[in-house]
Chains A and B, each alone.
Chain A
Amino acid sequence: MNYRAWLCGAVSACALGFAAHAETITIATVNNGDMIRMQKLTDDFTKDHPDIQLEWVTLEENVLRQRVTTDIATKGGQYDVMTIGNYEVPIWGKQGWLMALDDLPAGYDRADLLPAIAGGLSVEGKLYAVPFYGESAMLMYRTDLAEKAGIKMSDQPTWTDIKAAAKAMTDKDNEVYGICLRGKAGWGENMAFLTAMSNSYGARWFDMDWKPQFDSPEWKATLTDYLDMMKTYGPPGASSNGFNENLALFQQGKCGMWIDATVAASFVTNAKDSTVADSVGFAQFPNKDGVDNHGNWLWSWNLAIPASTKKADAAKAFVAWATSRHYTELVAASEGWAASPPGTRTSLYENPEYQKAAPFAKMTLDAINSVDTKKPSVQEVPYTGGQFVSIPEFQGIGTAVGQLFSAALAGNMSADQALQAAQALTSREMTKAGYIK
């Protein structure tokens, strides 16, 4: 008995001693399906790295952005790994807030990362974050409604095709609306869509002297067509609809077409939640006739390491594991290929099993590959970024302009009034920020 007690004590002491040596890294992450899945699979990482323990802080996107921005700007040091978007990476990288990730393990295969995605995470050739999943935007449409309406959707539709299809698919008596688009105000909500749409119309946010361009004919055409389509063929209350609201409408069979992030493809084709799972077709983000631009929407959620962390080696080991090819295969083995995080690695799209499991794979890859965030518009621009402008002021300006466009959609002002107000507001803010001399 005595011997047993001693043995137990010795084992406990060893365990305590080991725990004391284990390094704990705190990971701040966004709450979405892919990230939650990663949390469940971390045993695979800790098995190979028994000296590293993981603590998770999972938050809603906007709360997460506020938290990690406060922490990194003040060098708070609460997190060792942060999940941030490709909007933040170049800005924070330039500020010296992030650790460069050029020395990841040899087997990491950096060359396998999709060039468009990796390009958005680099500053002067240095990689400041590694992509966990990436997305562009595309058209999702109901093949049954298109067939019924006698429409053959092209793989590369124009906005004229979209308008015609929306008209043909609309059946308001049965609560079927030809087109559903984002209307909820916010730089990441309606302005993500409208900025991409304006790119495809040949518009730009700023000229080379940083003067706002809302008074240009391209922006007028963008907003007028958007409002016309939404008011004539869109669902009621569209000015409150964001990604989730449109997803719910599409899944319930109430949208003929929906143009949004490619990540939605896996949701609308999931028979568990979607009533139209077996009748969804995909096509590229539309362009205006004669304008060679498909919106340039590019978003990725990435893992970055704050420069202030004291646990750089452990954090690097973790981000390398979470964004590796091995992790993709681990997800496939545990939940099937369709669940693998999309939009980051070329090898995934070359995998026949993934192609078979994800009917939207080719269209997603085409959409991502067609993006050039360094040249978002057919006109010359002084900024980078596809559905956003990669400057720190954009969150504030984008949200304020989004409120104006949302008000126009709600019928509180005309397109012209909204554009004039957007021009005045943006000019004022850009002058205040020192861009316009």
Chain B
Amino acid sequence: MARASSNRRKTVVTVLAWAIGLLIFFPILWTVLTSFKTEAEAVASPPSFINFHWTLENYAEVQSRSDYFRHFLNSVVISLGSTVLGLIIAIPAAWSMAFVPAKRTKDILMWMLSTKMLPPVGVLIPIYLIFRDIGLLDSLLGLIIVLMLINLPIIIWMLFTYFREIPGEILEAARMDGAGLKAELLYVLTPMAVPGIASTLLLNIILAWNEAFWTLNLTAAKAAPLTAFIASYSSPEGLFYAKLSAASTMAIAPILILGWFSQKQLVRGLTFGAVK
């Protein structure tokens, strides 16, 4: 009896989980389907789900109009660069906060988080002027620095949460064995925190990949990533929904694939320390 009730509950939870999953995935599915329609079918009412004239002409048009691979490459360089640079700064910062906390460590952590509460447009003009004066407008290096700074609080917080779970005694033992600070960080702490670092890396790559304020405002032709590529297909005067969907599908495909293959790691990272 108890087993039957448990099975029923399991089925209900599974069905509910699938329903929510499909609901969340539906906009992406719809974008992909629309990318294979003609512009007329894309706005047809009632819309057709799969019973339409499938075409690849939108992809051909997008490819002929824009240099997808240049934008893709820029996205890869910006997201990887900002994440790696962020990790190089965040690992020692999180180490010090987790293992050598000072009186104000908690306040510093809260302050770092509070910087995320400032709307980016509030600092657009100062940053734009600084970038203009030091020649970083429309450069990959400029975007790597800005996105690293934006995501740094999240990276530090995530790593701090991981590091706190590692027993301090292990590090102490390493020190007793003669390990210096560099050796302690590189050969003891980092290998133990690899799962945490990996999920932080993945999450930040996704955040940097999707960032669409700074990447749009600080770039022109040379450093524009895929967010600018998508923005070039949106128009308030003219129906280009099918082409916009094709451009969106091409832009999200790489990160969707990365997310699919690393979902286990990502979920583990995001839920680490959530239940105690």
Interface residues of A (CB under 8 A from B): 26, 28, 30-33, 36, 39-40, 55-63, 66-67, 70, 74-79, 188-189, 242-244, 247-248, 251-252, 254, 261, 263, 267, 272-275
Q: Which of B105-113, B121-129, B188-196, B263-271 is the interface stretch?
A: B121-129
Report which of A36, A74, A261 forms a contact with B128, defined as CB distance below 8 A: A74
Question: Given A31-B232, A57-B220, A78-B138, does the pair A273, B129 have CB atoms closer than 8 Å?
Answer: no
B45 within 8 A of A: yes
Per-position binary interface string of chain B over residues 10-22, scored 1 when its CB falls under 8 Å from any chain A CB and 0 otherwise: 0000000000000
Interface contact B231-A33, CB-CB below 8 Å: no
Q: How far is the CA of A401 from the CA of B180 in the complex (A)?
A: 65
- A278–chain B nearest beta-carbon distance, Å: 15
Per-position binary interface string of chain B over residues 216-239, scored 1 when its CB falls under 8 Å from any chain A CB and 0 otherwise: 110011101000100111111111
Known contacts A30-B235, A251-B239, then 15 further A-B pairs from the complex at CB < 8 Å, ordered by chain A residue? A26-B220, A28-B220, A31-B238, A36-B65, A55-B222, A58-B66, A59-B231, A61-B235, A78-B137, A243-B237, A251-B43, A252-B44, A267-B238, A273-B39, A275-B40
A56 / chain B contacts, CB cutoff of 8 Å? 221
- B70–chain A nearest beta-carbon distance, Å: 11
Q: Which residue of B lies closest to A184 (CB)?
A: B236
Interface residues of B (CB under 8 A from A): 39-40, 43-45, 65-66, 124-125, 128-129, 132, 137-138, 216-217, 220-222, 224, 228, 231-240
Interface contact A70-B39, CB-CB below 8 Å: no
A189 / chain B contacts, CB cutoff of 8 Å? 236
- A393–chain B nearest beta-carbon distance, Å: 18
Interface contact A267-B239, CB-CB below 8 Å: yes
Q: How far is the CA of A58 from the CA of B129 in the complex (A)?
A: 23
Question: Given A59-B228, A59-B231, A273-B40, does the pair A76, B128 have CB atoms closer than 8 Å?
Answer: yes
Q: Which residue of A lies closest to B43 (CB)?
A: A248
Q: Which residue of A lies closest to B39 (CB)?
A: A273
Interface contact A63-B237, CB-CB below 8 Å: no
Question: Given A63-B216, A76-B137, does the pair A70, B124 have CB atoms closer than 8 Å?
Answer: yes
Report which of A61, A77, A254 forms a contact with B236, defined as CB distance below 8 A: A61
A263 / chain B contacts, CB cutoff of 8 Å? 237
Interface contact A272-B220, CB-CB below 8 Å: no
Interface contact A70-B125, CB-CB below 8 Å: yes
A63 / chain B contacts, CB cutoff of 8 Å? 216, 231, 234
- A53–chain B nearest beta-carbon distance, Å: 11
B235 / chain A contacts, CB cutoff of 8 Å? 30-32, 60-61, 244
Q: How far is the CA of A244 from the CA of B65 in the complex (A)?
A: 22
Q: How far is the CA of A33 from the CA of B234 in the complex (A)?
A: 12
B40 / chain A contacts, CB cutoff of 8 Å? 251, 272-275
- A429–chain B nearest beta-carbon distance, Å: 19
Query: Can you list 26 A-B pairs, Cβ within 8 angstroms, ordered by A?
Result: A31-B234, A31-B238, A31-B240, A32-B238, A39-B65, A57-B224, A57-B228, A58-B232, A59-B216, A59-B232, A60-B231, A60-B235, A63-B216, A67-B217, A70-B125, A70-B217, A78-B137, A243-B236, A243-B237, A244-B239, A248-B43, A252-B44, A261-B237, A267-B238, A273-B40, A273-B239
Q: How far is the CA of A53 from the CA of B239 in the complex (A)?
A: 30
A242 / chain B contacts, CB cutoff of 8 Å? 236
Report which of B39, B125, B216, B232 forms a contact with A74, defined as CB distance below 8 A: B125
A74 / chain B contacts, CB cutoff of 8 Å? 125, 128-129, 132
- A435–chain B nearest beta-carbon distance, Å: 24
Interface contact A31-B233, CB-CB below 8 Å: yes
Q: How far is the CA of A93 from the CA of B214 in the complex (A)?
A: 28
B217 / chain A contacts, CB cutoff of 8 Å? 66-67, 70
- B131–chain A nearest beta-carbon distance, Å: 8
Q: How far is the CA of A272 from the CA of B220 in the complex (A)?
A: 34
Q: How far is the CA of A231 from the CA of B249 in the complex (A)?
A: 38
A252 / chain B contacts, CB cutoff of 8 Å? 43-45
B39 / chain A contacts, CB cutoff of 8 Å? 273
B237 / chain A contacts, CB cutoff of 8 Å? 32, 61, 243-244, 261, 263
- A191–chain B nearest beta-carbon distance, Å: 14
